[in-house]
Amino acid sequence: MALVAVFLKQNIITYMCHIFNLDKMAGKTTNYESPTMNNYYSISLQFFADDEKTEKATPKKRQDARQKGQVLKSKEVNSAVLLLAMFLTIKYSSPMIYEELSNYFKVVFNEYMKRDITEISTFMNFVTYTLSVFMKITLPIFLVSILAGLICGYAQVGFLFTLEPLKVKLDKLNPINGFKQLFSKQSLVELIKSFFKISVSLYITFLYLKGEVNNIFKIVDMDVINIFIYIGNIAINVSIAIVIVIGILAIFDYIFQWWDYERNLKMSKHEVKEEYKQMEGNPLVKSKIKQKQRQMAASRMMKEIPKADVVITNPTHFAVALKYEPEKNTAPMLIAKGQDYLALRIKEIAKENSVEIVENKQLARTLYSTVEIGEQIPEDLYQTVAEVLAFVYSLKENKSAV
């Protein structure tokens, strides 16, 4: 029975790999007629190794996502701030609204109701007056709402102008993708938030009306205007309380949106490597370029050795070539240096061009480690180098005398 279970397990795993094309995605060819567990493991590990997103997003990835319109933003924060600003504006401008509406109805009932509204001039005056009153009441609310929305949006996203989200994407028209989104985690979160907002709205309304039960029954003794004022105050106070609670929800929603944004931006190690290659260049190519540059620099350096006055050696590990031109430089200049194989080449070229070679272990090592090619020797080495050059010049004079 154990053997049968293992065989069935292997076949089920292989069949699932065949259905989801894991063998193609992993770049392997699976033998479905004789599956093995080793084959399954190779497919599974390759499939998940490169696609596992465990690395934080790089600055370039964040910038690219921002250009595509993928930014950290909570709609609940925008809605809460906008609604709170709107309801507070209505609450504190209610005396102005009451006065405008009161004057409006007085004018309508005292003037326009006595005229023939069917006349074009009278009708146009009535429409113009109605629109002016409407603008006086709604314009402050409208402006405050826009300003609050802009400030909140800028605080979350900053200044961003991109047309990328407006581009038509065919995958959005795919009904299968749309069906998947209905049951996605984001949809579930939106459903929970909607349920929470509805529940909170109903509960706060119930509590507020419960506290106003005694006053509600008194509206039968009020005139029409006071009834409207009372109901309006209840509506505004309930709305502000609901928006404050929704604002608390917005804080948690912003935390969730931050977590989800960071999670979606995560990169696999392969993606980080590919981005690094694009930005910095392929490391193999860079190493070859550096190698080529070193070769070219060494070639130029070798061409300068015949012009040297002396080559100072270690004798086998280090070699430096010095050149002294009193009319150009105040001190001898190092025109070539090398270690091991390069030191051997320097000495060979020096011999071929009859450049004097002097062995001085300490001086050669010091010059190699402290002076770069094209630099003059430091002052603390003037005396030692001068003695070497004096020795070299004396050798040349003796040779020329012979």
State pLDDT tens for residues 255-289. 988 888 888 888 888 888 877 777 666 666 677 77
Q: Would the pLDDT of 131 be above 90?
A: yes
Residue 41 belongs to what domain range? 1-46
Sheet holding 333-339, edge to edge: 333-339, 318-323, 310-313, 356-359
Contact criterion met (CB below 8 Å) for 193 and 249: yes
Degrees to nearest 5, angle at CA 397 with 396 and 398: 90
Name the phi and psi angles at 78, rounded to 5.
-60, -45
How many Å apart are CA 391 and CA 358, to the nearest integer?
9
Task: Indicate whether 176 and 75 sit together in one domain.
Answer: yes
Predicted local confidence at residue 106, as pLDDT: 85
**CA 380 to CA 387: how far, in whole Å?**
13
pLDDT of res. 177: 61
- Residues 98, 229: contact at Cβ < 8 Å? yes
Higher-confidence residue of 176 and 388: namely 388
* Confidence (pLDDT) at 174: 62
> What is the per-residue pLDDT across 183-192, written as a single tens digit (0 to 9) for each?
667 778 778 8
153 is written with which tokens? 């949006």
Residue 47 parent element (H or E): helix 37-51
Q: At 293, list the tokens.
A: 């540059």
Q: What is the CA radius of gyration of the chain?
A: 43
CA distances (Å), 326 to each of 179, 333, 393, in order? 85, 11, 14
* pLDDT (tens digit per residue) in 45-99: 444 444 677 788 878 888 888 877 778 888 888 888 888 898 889 888 888 888 8
Percent of all residues in the chain with a pLDDT value above 90, rounded to a whole number: 3
Report in angstroms the alpha-carbon separations of 210 from 153, 200, 230, 233, 238: 37, 15, 15, 15, 12
CA dihedral 270, 272, 275, 277 (to 10 degrees): -70
What is the structure's pLDDT at 179? 60
One domain for residues 236 and 108: yes
- pLDDT > 70 fraction of the chain, expressed in percent and rounded: 79
Average pLDDT, the chain: 77
State how many domains the chain has.
Answer: 3
- What Å distances lie between residue 258 and 152, 156, 183, 272, CA to CA? 16, 11, 21, 21
Query: Does residue 26 sit in the same domain as residue 75?
Result: no
The pLDDT assigned to 34 comes to 42
* Cβ–Cβ < 8 Å for 319, 367: no
Asked, for residue 120, whether it belongs to a domain, the answer is yes
C-alpha atoms less than 13 angstroms from C-alpha of 259 in its C-beta half-sphere: 7
- C-alpha 249/C-alpha 402 separation (Å) is 102
The residue from 245, 266, 287 where one domain ends is 266
pLDDT at 8 over 70: no
Residue 90 included in any domain: yes
- pLDDT for the residue numbered 72: 82
Tell me, yes or no, if the pTM score tops 0.75.
Answer: no
| DSSP letter (8 states) at residue 159 | S
Same-domain check for residues 220 and 255: yes
CATH label of the domain that carries residue 325: 3.40.1690.10
The answer on pLDDT for 311 being more than 80 is yes
- Which of these, 269, 262, 265, lies nearest to 65 by C-alpha position? 265
Note whether 83 and 210 are same-domain residues.
yes
What is the rounded average pLDDT of the residues 345-363?
Answer: 87
pLDDT digits (tens, 9 = 90+) for 385-395: 888 888 888 88
Verify that 115 and 257 share a domain, yes or no: yes
Predicted confidence (pLDDT) per residue in 38-53, tens digit: 444 444 444 444 467 7
What confidence tier does 401 reach under pLDDT thresholds 50, 70, 90?
A: low
CA distance 21 to 23: 5
CB-side neighbour CA atoms (13 Å) of 92? 8
Confidence band of 143 (pLDDT split at 50, 70, 90): very high
For the stretch 297-310, pLDDT in tens is: 778 888 888 888 88
Q: Diameter of the chain by CA atoms? A: 138
Cα end-to-end distance, the chain, whole Å: 104
Q: Do 184 and 151 belong to one domain?
A: yes
Region 198-216 average pLDDT = 84
Query: Residue 297: CA atoms inside 13 Å, Cβ hemisphere, count?
Result: 14
As given in the structure block, the two tokens for residue 143 are 């402006």
| Between 39 and 349, residue with greater pLDDT | 349
Alpha helices in 2-93 (DSSP H): 2-19, 22-25, 37-51, 59-67, 75-92
The answer on 90 and 2 residing in a single domain is no
**Token pair in block for residue 12:** 């089920």
Please tell me whether residues 84 and 177 are part of one structural domain.
yes
Please report, to the nearest 10 degrees, the dihedral formed by the alpha carbons of residues 298, 301, 306, 307 taken in order.
Answer: 180
Mean pLDDT score, 185-210: 84
Number of other residues whose CB lies within 10 A of the CB of residue 83: 19
CA distance 137 to 86: 12
| Per-residue confidence (pLDDT) for residue 42, from 0 to 100 | 43
pLDDT exceeds 70 at position 254 = yes
- Asked if residue 210 and residue 356 are part of one domain, the reply reads no
